[in-house]
Chains A and B, each alone.
Chain A
Amino acid sequence: MYEHDVIVVGAGGAGLRAAIAAHEAGADVAMVTKLHPVRSHTGAAEGGINAAIRDGDDWELHAYDTMKGSDYLGDAPAIETLAQDSPEDTITLEHWGMPFSREEDGTVSQRPFGGLSFPRTTYAGAETGHHLLHTMYEQVVKRGIQVYDEWYVMNLAVTDEPDPNDRSCHGVVAYDVQSGQIQGFKANDGVILATGGPGQAFDHTTNAVSCTGDGQAMAYRAGVPLEDMEFVQFHPTTLPSTGVLISEGVRGEGGILYNEDGERFMFEHGYANNDGELASRDVVSRAELTEVNEGRGVEDEYVNLDMRHLGEERIMDRLENILHLAEDFEGVDGLVEPMPVKPGQHYEMGGIETDENGATCVDGLYAAGECACVSVHGANRLGGNALPELIVFGKRAGRHAAGEELGAAEILTGYGDDVEDETDVGAPVEPGLAGIDETSPASGVAADGSGQTMASDAVLEQAVEAERTRVDHLMDTDDGVNHADIRSKLQRAMTDYVNVFRTEDGVKKALEIIRECREEYQRVGVSDPSRTFNTDLQMTYETRNLIDVAETIALGALVRNEFRGAHWRQENQIRDDENWLKHTMITWDDGAPSIWYRPVILEGEEKTYEPKVRSY
């Protein structure tokens, strides 16, 4: 067994920032990641970091833009924290040597991005995430922070009191991918989940194959609510054949979208008469698919993104990476022809419910970054707001877990008096557990009938044993179902039925297929007999996580019968503030998920944000 004060799970932007912060606060911190830190998907972020650091801009404008972008489903305390902390936290990266693009006067460059009232997206070429990731990893090396790389976290060691609000987290169970050994990692002060998004629940995604929602699924099964999972961002400019992302920076610099008839449809068909291509991502994605659905798509599949008029010099200076991506992954030269693009799954706005200090309702369990939902992004994330979320809330979670005083949180977590129950989910099949899962949850109550809570070592040891049993079972299952078959079926269902445009019937169909996937997963088996680098085993674990997370996305999409931000429902194509200014919360409830709602907080520090019509 390994033991540290703070264990950070995942080593992308949020995890690295959390680890540095916890270390600076004096904690013995270790990172456990299924990849090596520099392989994390933060490295694929292209656009930039929104931060109000220039004259003429201020954090309140950033907060306002973010609230509007969220379609009034972000919580004001979270949004204001993001906008207030981002300038200092962004400059900290500069102080750590991050190679930002520069202006003539030597200051860091900023550019316009969709939905922003000021060009505050601070960038490093079209590879901002790569530089952010490497810069922070360098600082982790400098500080000598322990990294367990290629260790896959299989489960959390959480007690199992009936009310999740009474539970506590004491560590994680992980397996060393290279050797196959399973070990407990005891966390004396806290576990911080920074495991990224669940993009692999979809067929066409910009996300890495590693983005399998592991942290979300583990927290969910441990009793933490998942919040607003139906809000999935579909990025409007991904390459059709692979889903590789073409940065919003292309449109920020002046790139134009055309349909097959050569019309600049964002204006000519009235989708966004003011901002055109730079409208919010959800608006542009729906516009593109509407063009395709109405017969004006190129090859009935995509639209064209043209940046040729920007000129080679500007493209090479600010968007060079885009040329390489378009050439390598679509065979298109962006200097001489337009690039084909279509919407692709990009970002999960929802996630593990936390407060603005990163804390969940389970004592000692934190989450930060894409896997978390504070909620900053509400129903739609603005471009350039993911990276500041990583550094701002990664840092806060790290400091809080290490015992620093950050002040009481205004955002509530866990099921409580302020919530409203959903009584009619209307799911066509039972969601949740299929069959008996004897290995979880880890029982945190002593089995001697005394009712005494177990010591943390015992909770961890029991969790380790449960995973050893599960692995033995998976390895011993002969002629089992291959996880890859289940995963691809799940991905197709989500992309077919829980995409940009959603209908009640379609979402129900998706839930039925998810149920089938669950039942097939009962017979899943690992055919690779080796303990050495067994990716078959790891992916079998990941597929289970994807099923659980996909189901919460579909359940949220089913109950929220309105059109808000990235979530569009055919049956009710209006934003329904009367009934839906509230977060969708889903709890696992030991295998029989339930849905409830928590009101959105629109009261900021000094003002209340009034929901307005969202036009661009």
Chain B
Amino acid sequence: MSTQQEQPTDADDAGTGQADDAADAGPSPQDRRMDKKADRRIERERAAGATDADAETVHLKVFRYDPEVEGKQEPRFDDFHVPFEKGMTVLDALIYARDEFDPSLTFRHSCRQAVCGSDAFFVNGRQRLGCQTQISDLDGPVRVEPLPHQDVVKDLVVDMEHFYEQMHAVEPYFQEEDLPDGDLEEQYQTRENREKVKMSTRCIWCGACMSSCNIAAGDNEYLGPAAINKAYRFAMDDREGEELKEHRLRIMEQEHGVWRCQTQFSCTEVCPKDIPLTEHIQELKREAVKKNLKFW
């Protein structure tokens, strides 16, 4: 399918030279997001009157494809006009279109609250979670496509197998075997260390980052931001010992590991959980160097 290669429409603030920004102790992505949220709220309040008056229906343009149904084997866009309600998300609009107009409209979704990671779509040229995206924040018509750079199974459903394989390739599980004696004895961890891995543990495996990554698009074996972040989550967790950390860094510095990243920050931009993915990848590069490990 050729839904790829569209440039994010609102990526102006992604800009260039962000690798330098990352090295500075500027505002954290979390702070930036909080600021952006405040701005968006003000914007929404300002626009509220106008929105209510002129946006009674939402115009959706939805990508359609089904390999075995006549008329859908050639990808096309279908138009749906859905009654707008305050607070409506892209997912709400899709559900309405499916339940009221076309039961064959197909997309993954489950929790409706940005934690199951099922409904990452390409909305108006950018990877977003359908449930987390307010219609009122988008320009119409709202164009909804499957995630770029992944095979389309049907409509908005993409094949996630490759993404899962990459996640599994980094030994994504805690491996420390030197545990405290006694079934009721916990391992100790400092608050600082827990804080250190906190953002990395928030990944919901939605695949938005991988889909946004130009390097992953060109190198199918590249582990990708989500899998590297998963490795970061364990490599930086002090509960795993030094030996394991070195083992994990060795995996990271393979040919298709961290050194492939060209710090374009697209993954960080689209992550719905605000994980500073690029910074995590950069930090693993530094750690690998620090350990004085030989890389390819």
B106 interface hit (Cβ, 8 Å): yes
Collect the chain B residues with CB atoms within 8 Å of residue A178's CB: 153
Evaluate contact between A130 and B204: CB separation under 8 angstroms. yes
Interface string of A523-546 (1 = CB under 8 A from B): 000111111111110000000000
Evaluate contact between A484 and B99: CB separation under 8 angstroms. yes
Closest chain B residue to A527 by CB distance?
A: B103
A308 interface hit (Cβ, 8 Å): no
Interface string of B15-29 (1 = CB under 8 A from A): 000000000000000
B237 interface hit (Cβ, 8 Å): yes
Chain-A contact segment, one of B5-13, B62-70, B254-262, B281-289 = B62-70
A267 interface hit (Cβ, 8 Å): no
Chain-A contact segment, one of B37-45, B49-57, B75-83, B216-224 = B37-45
Closest CB pairs A-B (n = 6): A97-B174, A106-B188, A528-B104, A138-B173, A142-B173, A484-B99
In the complex, how many angstroms separate the beta carbon of B150 from the nearest chain A beta carbon? 14
A298 interface hit (Cβ, 8 Å): no
Known: A43-B115, A141-B173, A530-B104. A36 touches B164 (CB 8 A): yes
Collect the chain A residues with CB atoms within 8 Å of residue B267's CB: none
B2 interface hit (Cβ, 8 Å): no
Collect the chain A residues with CB atoms within 8 Å of residue B189's CB: 102, 106
Collect the chain A residues with CB atoms within 8 Å of residue B111's CB: 39, 41, 43-44, 208-209
In the complex, how many angstroms separate the beta carbon of A75 from the nearest chain B beta carbon? 25
Contact of A328 among B67, B132, B184, B202 (CB under 8 A): B132
Q: Is the interface of B mostly helix, strand, loop or mixed?
A: loop
Interface string of B106-134 (1 = CB under 8 A from A): 11111111111110000000000000101
Collect the chain B residues with CB atoms within 8 Å of residue A138's CB: 172-174
Evaluate contact between B174 and A533: CB separation under 8 angstroms. no
Q: Which residues of chain A (227-271) have a CB below 8 Å from chain B?
A: 241-242, 244-245
Evaluate contact between B183 and A139: CB separation under 8 angstroms. no
Collect the chain A residues with CB atoms within 8 Å of residue B237's CB: 97, 99
When chains A and B are docked, how far (Å) is the Cα of A40 from the Cα of B118? 10
A476 interface hit (Cβ, 8 Å): no
In the complex, how many angstroms separate the beta carbon of B110 from the nearest chain A beta carbon? 4
Chain-B contact segment, one of A85-93, A440-448, A449-457 = A85-93
Collect the chain A residues with CB atoms within 8 Å of residue B38's CB: 333
A458 interface hit (Cβ, 8 Å): no
A5 interface hit (Cβ, 8 Å): no
A210 interface hit (Cβ, 8 Å): yes
Collect the chain A residues with CB atoms within 8 Å of residue B175's CB: 142
A127 interface hit (Cβ, 8 Å): yes
Contact of A104 among B107, B184, B191 (CB under 8 A): B191
Evaluate contact between B164 and A242: CB separation under 8 angstroms. no
Known: A41-B111, A536-B104. A105 touches B188 (CB 8 A): yes
Collect the chain A residues with CB atoms within 8 Å of residue B32's CB: none
Contact of B183 among A91, A242, A324, A530 (CB under 8 A): A91
In the complex, how many angstroms separate the beta carbon of A129 from the nearest chain B beta carbon? 8
B232 interface hit (Cβ, 8 Å): no
Closest chain A residue to B230 by CB distance?
A: A138
Interface residues of A (CB under 8 A from B): 35-36, 38-41, 43-44, 53, 87-88, 91-92, 94-97, 99-108, 125, 127, 130-131, 134-135, 138-139, 141-142, 178, 208-210, 241-242, 244-245, 323-325, 327-331, 333, 482-484, 488, 526-536
B14 interface hit (Cβ, 8 Å): no
B179 interface hit (Cβ, 8 Å): yes
When chains A and B are docked, how far (Å) is the Cα of A328 from the Cα of B128? 13
Q: For the side of the interface on B, what is the size category?
A: 35 or more
In the complex, how many angstroms separate the beta carbon of A458 from the nearest chain B beta carbon? 32
Closest chain A residue to B188 by CB distance?
A: A106
When chains A and B are docked, how far (Å) is the Cα of A267 from the Cα of B102? 50
Closest chain A residue to B40 by CB distance?
A: A327
Closest chain A residue to B118 by CB distance?
A: A39
Collect the chain B residues with CB atoms within 8 Å of residue A97's CB: 173-174, 176, 234, 237, 239-240
In the complex, how many angstroms separate the beta carbon of B155 from the nearest chain A beta carbon? 8
In the complex, how many angstroms separate the beta carbon of A57 from the nearest chain B beta carbon? 12
Closest chain A residue to B171 by CB distance?
A: A142
When chains A and B are docked, how far (Å) is the Cα of A497 from the Cα of B200? 44
Evaluate contact between A94 and B202: CB separation under 8 angstroms. no
Evaluate contact between A39 and B117: CB separation under 8 angstroms. yes
Evaluate contact between B41 and A333: CB separation under 8 angstroms. yes
Evaluate contact between B153 and A99: CB separation under 8 angstroms. no
Known: A97-B239, A141-B173. A532 touches B154 (CB 8 A): yes
In the complex, how many angstroms separate the beta carbon of A218 from the nearest chain B beta carbon? 20
In the complex, how many angstroms separate the beta carbon of A536 from the nearest chain B beta carbon? 4
Q: A209-B111, A533-B155 are in contact. List 14 more A-B contacts (CB 8 A).
A: A99-B197, A99-B237, A100-B194, A106-B189, A130-B115, A242-B112, A245-B113, A324-B114, A327-B41, A329-B113, A483-B103, A530-B104, A532-B67, A533-B154
B160 interface hit (Cβ, 8 Å): yes
B187 interface hit (Cβ, 8 Å): yes
In the complex, how many angstroms separate the beta carbon of A480 from the nearest chain B beta carbon? 10
Evaluate contact between A38 and B37: CB separation under 8 angstroms. no
Evaluate contact between A244 and B113: CB separation under 8 angstroms. yes
Collect the chain B residues with CB atoms within 8 Å of residue A104's CB: 191
When chains A and B are docked, how far (Å) is the Cα of A104 from the Cα of B194? 11
Evaluate contact between B114 and A210: CB separation under 8 angstroms. no
Known: A134-B201, A208-B110. A330 touches B183 (CB 8 A): no
B205 interface hit (Cβ, 8 Å): yes
Known: A102-B194, A528-B104. A91 touches B185 (CB 8 A): yes
Evaluate contact between A95 and B179: CB separation under 8 angstroms. yes
Evaluate contact between A531 and B68: CB separation under 8 angstroms. yes
Collect the chain A residues with CB atoms within 8 Å of residue B172's CB: 138, 141
Evaluate contact between B186 and A530: CB separation under 8 angstroms. no
Evaluate contact between B66 and A87: CB separation under 8 angstroms. no
Known: A88-B183, A532-B66. A102 touches B190 (CB 8 A): yes
Closest chain B residue to A98 by CB distance?
A: B174
Closest chain A residue to B98 by CB distance?
A: A484
Evaluate contact between B37 and A530: CB separation under 8 angstroms. no
In the complex, how many angstroms separate the beta carbon of A84 from the nearest chain B beta carbon? 12
When chains A and B are docked, how far (Å) is the Cα of A242 from the Cα of B95? 14
Collect the chain B residues with CB atoms within 8 Å of residue A483's CB: 103
Known: A95-B179, A96-B174, A482-B103. A35 touches B153 (CB 8 A): no
When chains A and B are docked, how far (Å) is the Cα of A208 from the Cα of B37? 25
Evaluate contact between A532 and B41: CB separation under 8 angstroms. no
Collect the chain B residues with CB atoms within 8 Å of residue A95's CB: 179, 186-187
Collect the chain A residues with CB atoms within 8 Å of residue B132's CB: 328
When chains A and B are docked, how far (Å) is the Cα of A44 from the Cα of B160? 21
Evaluate contact between A241 and B176: CB separation under 8 angstroms. no
Evaluate contact between B66 and A328: CB separation under 8 angstroms. no
Collect the chain A residues with CB atoms within 8 Å of residue B154's CB: 530, 532-533
Evaluate contact between B157 and A530: CB separation under 8 angstroms. no
When chains A and B are docked, how far (Å) is the Cα of A100 from the Cα of B183? 17
Collect the chain A residues with CB atoms within 8 Å of residue B87's CB: 241-242, 329-331
B162 interface hit (Cβ, 8 Å): no
B250 interface hit (Cβ, 8 Å): no
Collect the chain A residues with CB atoms within 8 Å of residue B164's CB: 36
Evaluate contact between B201 and A107: CB separation under 8 angstroms. no
Contact of B66 among A43, A99, A530 (CB under 8 A): A530
Collect the chain B residues with CB atoms within 8 Å of residue A92's CB: 183
In the complex, how many angstroms separate the beta carbon of B95 from the nearest chain A beta carbon? 8
Collect the chain B residues with CB atoms within 8 Å of residue A100's CB: 194
Closest chain B residue to A312 by CB distance?
A: B34
Evaluate contact between B157 and A533: CB separation under 8 angstroms. yes
When chains A and B are docked, how far (Å) is the Cα of A538 from the Cα of B34? 39
Collect the chain A residues with CB atoms within 8 Å of residue B234's CB: 97
When chains A and B are docked, how far (Å) is the Cα of A208 from the Cα of B91? 13
Collect the chain B residues with CB atoms within 8 Å of residue A139's CB: 173-174
When chains A and B are docked, how far (Å) is the Cα of A529 from the Cα of B155? 14
Collect the chain B residues with CB atoms within 8 Å of residue A208's CB: 110-112, 116
Evaluate contact between B184 and A106: CB separation under 8 angstroms. no
Evaluate contact between A99 and B116: CB separation under 8 angstroms. no
Evaluate contact between B116 and A333: CB separation under 8 angstroms. no
Collect the chain A residues with CB atoms within 8 Å of residue B202's CB: 127, 130
Interface hub of A99, A323, A327, A483 (most chain B Cβ within 10 A): A99
